[in-house]
Each structure stands twice: as C-alpha cells, then as structure tokens.
Chain A
Amino acid sequence: MKDVGIVSYGAHIPRLRIKSSDIAHAWGKDPETITSGLGIIEKSVPSPDQDVATISVEAARAALARCNIDPQDIGAVYVGSESHPYAVKPTGTIVGEAIGATPILKVADYEFACKAGTAAIQTCMALVKSDMVKYGLAIGADTSQAAPGDALEYAASAGGAAFIIGKEKVIAFINETCSFTTDTPDFWRREGRKYPSHGGRFTGAPAYFRHIMSNAQNLMQLTNSKPEDYNYAVFHQPNGKFPVRVAKMLGFTSDQIKQGLLCPIIGNTYSGSSMLGLASVLDVAQPGNRIFVTSYGSGAGSDAFDITVTDLINKLPRNNAPLVSQLIEMKQYIDYSSYTKYRDLLYED
C-alpha cells in the first residue's frame, strides 16, 4: 500500500442542461437514433459567467469545505483542462488565490485532452511522497467547445472535480498508478482554432480502447489484481457507450461502473470526466471499498489508479458540499437557440 492518497474531494457541474433530442432537432437528425447511438440523453452547459476558472474554484472550495486543512498547507495547485480561459495566464493561480493557498505555492496548468486532471493527481502524489509539499490540489475541469452540427456537439459539456492529495488524514489511499502513452492523433485542436478536429472512427479502437485496455491490464498486472477485486470502476466517458464496452471487455460488470457513469446525463466533461466519476463514487464509498479508475486523453494516453477507501471516509463531512448526484439534479433546461448564444456560436462581425 502506498502512503499517499486522497484527503478530500469536491465537484462542480454547471446547472444548465440541453437535451440531445433538442440538438438533434436543430440539425434535422432523428433524436432517437442519436440518443440511443451515443448513449447521451442530456449534457451540462456553462452559463456565460462560468468557465474553467470558476468551475475549478467551486470544486476546490467544495473539497476544502469537507476537510479542515489550512489552505496555506497546500503546496501545489495543478489545473488540467483543454479549455483554459487563457492560452497564456494560468488558471491555477486564480484557484490558488481564491482558496487562500498563495503565495508559497507551486502552480502550473496542465493539458492532455481529457486526462490532464489525472496527470495532475500523479504529480501531486509525487510531490507529497517526496515531502516537497504537505498537500497538493489536482483539478480536472472543462467547458469544451464543439463545432455546431458535429457529432461532438451532443457530448461536449462542462464540469470539474478537485482532489486534495496528502499523506495525513487520507480518506482513500492510491495504492498504485500507471500510465500508457503513445503519439496517436485521434483528436486535436490547433492553436488559434475555435473547434477541435477528430479522426472519426479512428478515435475508437486505435485510440480510446487501445490505451484504456492496455493501461488497465497493466495496472491489474502491477497490483496482481482482477476486476472482481474492485467494488467500483470508473472509465473515461466520451459517450455513454465506450465506457460500458471497455468495462465489459476488461471483465468489469455494469454494477461496478454504474455509480461512476455520468456521461448519459451530463455529457463528456473532458478533463472532468474520470475525476467526476471518481467523485461520484467517493460520495457513497464505504471503508475498505476498492476503486479502479482509468482515464483517457486523446493524443493519446491513459492514467490508471488502484484506490482503497479508508475508515476516515466516514469522518469526512461529505454533505458539507454538494454531492455529485445533487449537482446533477440541480438543473435548468435551455433550448438550442439559448445554447448557441451562451456557447458563443452566433458570430457578430
């Protein structure tokens, strides 16, 4: 058992929602085909005054509300996203200031498509383990854009989760972590472009499935474990189908992935995807539960974590901040025209 783990966690999901069927109607597609094909019913939409900075701050404050550490003891903040508000000017410093962790603080923004946040967790683990910091704050959050009419429009949503990593007062130990990385250009956005491009069906077998399968199998080999050894499994969720399929391919059951499977009702929160799934599991986890998390980021790579919940989870006042299930229920529907206005799809010349 490694001696580093999660001390607290927090989540934030913007309250606006749009249904896949409304997007389908806007583009003349059959809503039933889209919804059942992608496995997404509705997705979250950020309001005009929300972005990765605000979502990260909300999630970080939620994590702090649940534990009573001194923010000044947080020695590092890493925010992973593919929709940072600035190309140059870190989101992490905004978060650091907002939670009172500055100025003795290591900060950087991370980018690796949908797995930037889990990479941040790994960095915090190393800093804590080497005693370079007492606590590290790793955040994954996104308000990703999708080109109007593109298949991604049904999934690209907004949300994020924050994890405080430390050695003391650990509610869940991270027993082991491993990564699998190749140069596979399945999905990308060039500097200066508004929307990402993707390789269509190439994003499946050679990208998502290859990296998650390889990494998950490596983690199980490293930890000498099997799917049955885990109570929960969380996989990156670009749509409602891929995580279900990869879980089955690896030998996990639908019961194991249920708690962490959020994409069907909030869409793909990109850097927030696996992290929110983990937060949802921690909302209900009990001491001794073992959790298997495998993220995926296009470009491409996967980070996997073998986590064991400690007795201290029941001492954590989880209700001091909204549970993921509560954030999901706090919703307000908008139609496609409002969506285009809020997502800045209507150009003024």
Chain B
Amino acid sequence: MMRDVAIIGVGVTKFGELWDKSFRNLIAEAGSKALFDSGISGKELDALYVGSMSTGRFIGQEHIGALVADWSGFAHMHIPAIRVESACASGGLAVRQGYLSVASGMNDVIVVGGVEKMTDVVGDEANDTLATGLDQEWETFFGATFPGIYAMIATRHMYDFGTTREQLAKVAVKNHANGALNPFAQFKRAIPLEKILSSPMTAYPLGMLDCSPVSDGAAAIVLCAADKAKNYTDKPVKIIGSGQASDTLSLHGRRDICTFDSTVYAGKNAYKQAKLQPKDIDVAEVHDCFTIAEILAIEGN
C-alpha cells in the first residue's frame, strides 16, 4: 500500500566554477537551505539520500552517504544515509529512492540531495571521469566521450529527420535565455543564435555552446508523508507520479539510437501513476547535457 508523498522544502546553491566551495560546503549549503525552507530542525529526519555521480574520481572521496550525514550534523542521530548513483541521473534517482521509502511507509520525513564538485580536477580529467558513465569496455575504452556519443545521436537525428544545426542551437538559445533570469545559474547571459552556431566545434555537429559546461553545485529537497505535510507547510507540493526504467548501457545496443527508451518507459509509468498525459504538463524540466539530449527527452515524453 503506497501513500502520497509531498515536498515541504527546497534548497539550491549557485552553480558555477566555485573555487571557494568544496563538495562538503556545497551539499551542506543546499541541505541546510532545504531544511530551513521546510521548517524542520533536522531531528525529524528518518533518513538521508544523496546522489552524486563520481565523487571517487572528482574528489577522491567515496562513502558519501555517511559523509554527508556527518557533515550535516546528523551523525549522532544514526539515521540511514544512502548514496545513489546512476551517472547523470544520480540526483533524480536519489529522489525516486527517497520517494519510495516515504511512500512505502518506511520513512516519514527525509532529505534528498544531489551534488557534484567537478572543478578540482584539471584538463581532460573531467571528461574522462564523465566517460565512465558510458560502457567502459565497448565505448570508453575505444575513445568515446559523452560529446562524441551525443554527436553520433545528433548526426543520426539529422539524417533521419532532417534536423538542422540551427534547430539544435535554438535549444541553447532558449536555455541560456532562461539562465539570464536565474540568479543561481552558472551562465546568466542570453546568447544569440549566431554565436551558438559559430562556437568552436567540440564533436561535430555539436559546437561548444551545444554542450553543458563543467560545473559545481548542489540542491536538496525535504520529502514528507503527504498526510503529515500540513504540520510543516501550507504549500506542500505532491509527487503524483514517478517512474524509473533502464536500457542498454552502450549506445550501439539501443533499439533506436534516436530514442531514449529508458525515459519513454520511465515517463509512461509516471504519467500512468499520475493519471496524466503529456498535454497536461505545464512545465517540463529535462536533462539538457547537450542540445540534442533535450530534443530526445521531449520527443520521448
């Protein structure tokens, strides 16, 4: 029997090359902002979930479930602290795992955070670390990188559907314009289409501005059983649907390289639980690591 879950507080740090902020600084900042926003003091927490892709390679630190709980001041509470990893979906998956633990009745109030500190490595190290999210033996070992993999997707998309570089670039134009409105954004300037198109080539057809940058940042939310949420806030936001799905790791194993079947299935399950359809959605936030990634994400859902 699954019960409803609500979000009762949120916190986010600035994103960028944050030379003065460590991994610990970032997650503690996001977490404490979320707790403050929710009105809980911390002793109500039943568990802590944290998603981060590659702390081992970026900062030489594993075991971050325990670290984050400790660094947040909860070590004496001895609550379960769980680290979740699924490459770039680590944060999203942490939310799902946290959601399930509250929906199932196991936990009443938890905090879920996502964090990455990428700027303590130099040169190609960040790219190499990200490439561990690909298939090491069949892709990474042979020199594939994330830009390279997404470039292949984009090339096929252009071949199958006549998608143009301009259409890809328009994703970046929109997203940079959104960034200009967000005080937490790494880049706060609108960039015109011509500049996106003329940026140096990273992996054809993706230019530098078709790609997301290396970044530091963290965000956290406090989840609560919906029937208890009114103890903390007048404006709980309910999670009304959640889905998760997997697919082949390697791009060449996919049924269709221009479709992210994992997001299609995950989306289907979320829509089904929520009893909604895509047309009912007012705002969509999708993973736009590359301009082509956003296009596949919205096509799939």
Residues of A within 8 A of B (CB): 30, 33, 198-202, 205-206
A38: shortest Cβ distance to chain B, in Å? 13
Given A198-B122, A200-B122, decide whether A205 and B19 contact each other with a Cβ distance below 8 A.
yes
Name the CB-closest residue of A to B19.
Answer: A206
A201 to B121, CA, bound (A): 10
Chain A residues closer than 8 Å to B19, beta-carbon distance? 202, 205-206
Q: Judging by beta carbons under 8 Å apart, are B17 and A205 in contact?
A: yes
A200 x B17 contact (CB < 8 A): no
Question: Are the C-beta atoms of B200 and A30 separated by less than 8 Å?
Answer: yes
Q: A202-B19, A205-B17, A205-B19 are in contact. Are A33 and B200 (CB under 8 A)?
A: yes
Q: How far is the CA of A205 from the CA of B19 in the complex (A)?
A: 8
- Are A202 and B119 within 8 A (Cβ)? yes
User: Are B200 and A202 neighbours in the complex by a CB distance under 8 Å?
Assistant: no
Tell me how many residue pairs across A and B have CB atoms closer than 8 Å.
Answer: 16
Give the Cβ gap from B207 to chain A, nearest Cβ, in Å.
11
Instruction: Verify A201–B17 contact, CB threshold 8 A.
Output: yes
Chain B residues contacting A199 (CB-CB under 8 Å) are: 122
Q: For the complex formed, measure the closest distance between the CB of A197 and the CB atoms of chain B, giving whole angstroms.
A: 8
CA distance A30 to B199 in the complex (A): 12
Report A-chain residues with C-beta under 8 Å of the C-beta of B123: 200
**Binary contact track B14-35/A, C-beta < 8 Å → 1, others 0:** 0001011000000000000000
Q: Which residues of B contact A198 (CB under 8 A)?
A: 122
Interface-central residue, A30, A199, A205, A206, by most chain B CB under 10 Å: A199
16 A–B contact pairs at CB < 8 A?
A: A30-B200, A30-B201, A33-B200, A198-B122, A199-B122, A200-B122, A200-B123, A201-B17, A201-B119, A202-B19, A202-B119, A202-B122, A205-B17, A205-B19, A206-B19, A206-B20
CB closest chain-B residue, reference A210: B19
Contacts of B200 in A (CB 8 A): 30, 33
In whole Å, how far is B205's beta carbon from the nearest beta carbon of chain A? 16
Q: Which residue of A lies closest to B122 (CB)?
A: A200
B contact residues around A33 at 8 Å (CB): 200
A202 and B122 CA atoms in complex are apart in Å by 8
How far, in whole Å, are A30 and B122 apart by their CA atoms in the complex? 22
Q: Which residue of A lies closest to B17 (CB)?
A: A201
B residues 110-156 near A (Cβ < 8 Å) are 119, 122-123
Chain B nearest CB, measured from A302 CB (Å): 17
Task: Give the size category of B's interface with A.
Answer: under 10
User: Considering the chains assembled together, what is the distance between the CA atoms of A206 and B216 in angstroms?
Assistant: 15
- Inter-chain CA distance A198–B123, complex, in Å, is 9
Given A201-B17, A202-B122, A205-B19, 13 extra CB contacts under 8 A: A30-B200, A30-B201, A33-B200, A198-B122, A199-B122, A200-B122, A200-B123, A201-B119, A202-B19, A202-B119, A205-B17, A206-B19, A206-B20
Please provide the 8 A-B residue pairs with the shortest distance between their CB atoms, ordered closest to farther. A200-B122, A206-B19, A33-B200, A199-B122, A200-B123, A201-B17, A205-B19, A202-B19
**In angstroms, how far is the closest chain A Cβ from the Cβ of B175?**
22
User: Which residues of chain A have C-beta atoms less than 8 A from B119's C-beta?
Assistant: 201-202
Instruction: Tell me the complex Cα distance, A30–B201, Å.
Output: 10
A290 to chain B, nearest CB (A): 34
Closest to A201 in B: B17
| A201 CA to B200 CA, complexed, in Å | 18
**Quick one: closest A residue to B120, CB to CB?**
A202
> CA of A201 to CA of B186 in the docked complex: distance in angstroms?
15
CB closest chain-B residue, reference A37: B200
A184 to B, closest residue via Cβ: B19
The distance in angstroms between the C-alpha atoms of A206 and B122, with both chains bound, is 14
- In the assembled complex, the CB of A300 is this many whole angstroms from the nearest CB of chain B, namely 13
Residues of B within 8 A of A205 (CB): 17, 19
Q: Which residues of chain B come closer than 8 Å to A202, judged between CB atoms?
A: 19, 119, 122
Residues of B within 8 A of A206 (CB): 19-20
Q: Which residues of B contact A201 (CB under 8 A)?
A: 17, 119
- Chain B residues with CB under 8 A of A200: 122-123
In the complex, the chain B residue whose C-beta lies closest to that of A34 is B200
CB distance from A66 to the nearest CB of B (A): 44
Minimal Cβ-Cβ distance residue in B for A30: B200
> Complex Cα distance A178/B20, Å?
25
Q: Which residues of B contact A30 (CB under 8 A)?
A: 200-201
CB distance from A190 to the nearest CB of B (A): 15
B122 neighbours in A (Cβ, 8 Å):
198-200, 202
- Which among A198, A201, A205, A206 has the highest number of chain B CB atoms within 10 Å? A201
Q: Kindly list chain A residues whose C-beta atoms are within 8 Å of the C-beta of B17.
A: 201, 205
Complex Cα distance, B123 from A30, in Å, reads: 19
CA distance A205 to B16 in the complex (A): 12
Q: Min CB distance, A337 to chain B, in Å?
A: 26
Q: How far is the CA of A309 from the CA of B118 in the complex (A)?
A: 48
Measured CB to CB, the closest approach of chain A to B176, in angstroms, equals 20
Q: Which residue of B lies closest to A197 (CB)?
A: B122
Q: In the docked arrangement, what's the CA distance between A30 and B208, Å?
A: 14
- Taking CB as reference atom, which chain A residue is nearest B20? A206
B168 to chain A, nearest CB (A): 20
CA–CA, A206 and B119, complex, Å: 12
Considering the chains assembled together, what is the distance between the CA atoms of A115 and B24 in angstroms?
34
The smallest C-beta distance from A138 to any residue of chain B, in angstroms, reads 33
CB distance from B162 to the nearest CB of A (A): 28
Tell me the bound Cα distance from A200 to B20 in angstroms. Answer: 16
Q: Within the assembled complex, what's the spacing in Å between the Cα atoms of A76 and B55?
A: 52
Distance of A335 Cα from B19 Cα, bound (Å): 39
Tell me the bound Cα distance from A202 to B201 in angstroms.
23
Residue of A nearest to B200 (CB): A33
